[in-house]
């Protein structure tokens, strides 16, 4: 009988006491038997550390690391993933609820892919379903082109399983691109990112999500760090440069498109605006693959690229 691969669950925590126990319980109740759980706490100041110590003492496959300084969520996840012993890695946020079969279903669906992901059900602060699935709002499908991850990402880290070899090819994580976005971009260099159309996670929506899918939760507008237009534009240009640099030369077509668009992102000159717009039109099926929009709205999006950088 073939031995099941070890799956390393990497959980990054920071002041997550409110929902943490529910998420931890859902992890230890997974039906997949070959698990290790690595938790990296980013200097929490609430009861998070005490909760984690309790679980680490109770479950021998739990490892708890506390950072000496606050690293931020991207570097915190990166640190945890580097500690993983498994050939497969599942990322976990601190406030969701995993369905019991989540890991087993994703492992069985993995095949030759480096990333496999599923759908999620949105819930509120009290674990109650909101009547909306992630797939109702975002375009969830398999993706086979790195161009699809230039301007967006719909593959959320809380519902993905990746190979350790992908992690090694993706390091270091750039700080201006979410780690799940970056991993999917790199994964498409070799194999498609595979979608499993099953609900595997209860994805909690609350006003303090680092990243959430709903702009308003319980009548409260989600609070995020505000950036100036100049800061947003700088981040977009940094993202475009990093993605272009990472794309391997042997992907000649994709490298050419990314290089062309990256060049147009440097300024809003009329020639650059025209090239950017026409490039979006020509490759819109790939560039806008993560957008849940009608054909007409995709055309309008391309027109907007004459006056806007996304």
Q: Give the gyration radius of the chain's Cα atoms.
A: 20
pLDDT digits (tens, 9 = 90+) for 105-151: 999 999 999 999 999 999 999 999 999 999 999 999 999 999 999 99
pLDDT digits (tens, 9 = 90+) for 242-269: 999 999 999 999 999 999 999 999 999 9
Cα–Cα distance for residue pair 269/257, rounded to 1 Å: 19
Domain boundary assignment for the chain: 7-221, 229-304
204 has a pLDDT exceeding 50: yes
Confidence of residue 1 (pLDDT cuts 50, 70, 90): low
Torsion of CA 65, 69, 75, 81, to 10 degrees: -10
pLDDT digits (tens, 9 = 90+) for 36-65: 999 999 999 999 999 999 999 999 999 999
Contact 234, 175 (CB under 8 A): no
CATH architecture of 7-221: Alpha-Beta Complex (3.90)
219 has a pLDDT exceeding 60: no
Cα–Cα distance for residue pair 73/31, rounded to 1 Å: 28
Torsion of CA 128, 41, 173, 262, to 10 degrees: 50
**What's the confidence (pLDDT) of residue 222?**
44
**What's the confidence (pLDDT) of residue 2?**
73
91 has a pLDDT exceeding 50: yes
216 has a pLDDT exceeding 80: no
What angle do the packed helices 270-282 and 295-304 form, to 10 degrees?
160
226 has a pLDDT exceeding 90: no
- Main-chain dihedrals φ then ψ at residue 213, nearest 5 degrees: -95, -20
């Amino acid at each position: 009988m073939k031995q099941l691969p070890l799956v390393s669950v990497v959980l990054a925590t920071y002041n997550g006491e409110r929902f943490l126990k529910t998420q931890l319980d859902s992890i230890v109740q997974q039906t997949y038997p070959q698990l290790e759980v690595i938790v990296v706490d980013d200097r929490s100041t609430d009861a998070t550390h005490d909760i984690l110590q309790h679980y680490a003492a109770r479950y021998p496959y739990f490892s708890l690391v506390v950072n000496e300084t606050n690293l931020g969520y991207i570097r915190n996840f990166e640190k945890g993933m580097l500690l993983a012993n498994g050939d497969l890695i599942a990322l976990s946020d601190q406030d969701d609820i995993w369905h019991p079969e989540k890991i087993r279903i994703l492992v069985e669906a993995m095949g030759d892919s480096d990333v496999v992901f599923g759908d999620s059900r949105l819930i509120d602060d009290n674990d109650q379903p909101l009547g909306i699935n992630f797939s109702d709002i975002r375009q969830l499908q398999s993706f086979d082109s790195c161009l699809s991850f230039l301007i967006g990402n719909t593959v959320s880290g809380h519902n993905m399983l990746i190979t350790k070899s992908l992690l090694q090819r993706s390091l270091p994580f750039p700080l201006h691109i979410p780690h799940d976005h970056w991993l999917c971009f790199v994964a498409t260099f070799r194999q498609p990112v595979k979608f499993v159309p099953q609900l595997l996670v209860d994805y909690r929506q609350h006003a303090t999500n680092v990243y959430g899918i709903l702009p308003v939760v319980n009548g409260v507008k989600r609070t995020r760090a505000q950036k100036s237009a100049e800061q947003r534009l700088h981040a977009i240009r940094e993202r475009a440069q990093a993605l272009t640099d990472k794309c391997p030369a042997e992907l000649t077509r994709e490298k050419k498109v990314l290089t062309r668009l990256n060049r147009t992102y440097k300024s809003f000159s009329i020639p650059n605006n025209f090239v950017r717009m026409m490039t979006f039109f020509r490759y819109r099926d790939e560039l806008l693959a993560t957008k849940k929009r009608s054909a007409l709205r995709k055309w309008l999006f391309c027109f907007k690229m004459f006056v806007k950088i996304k």
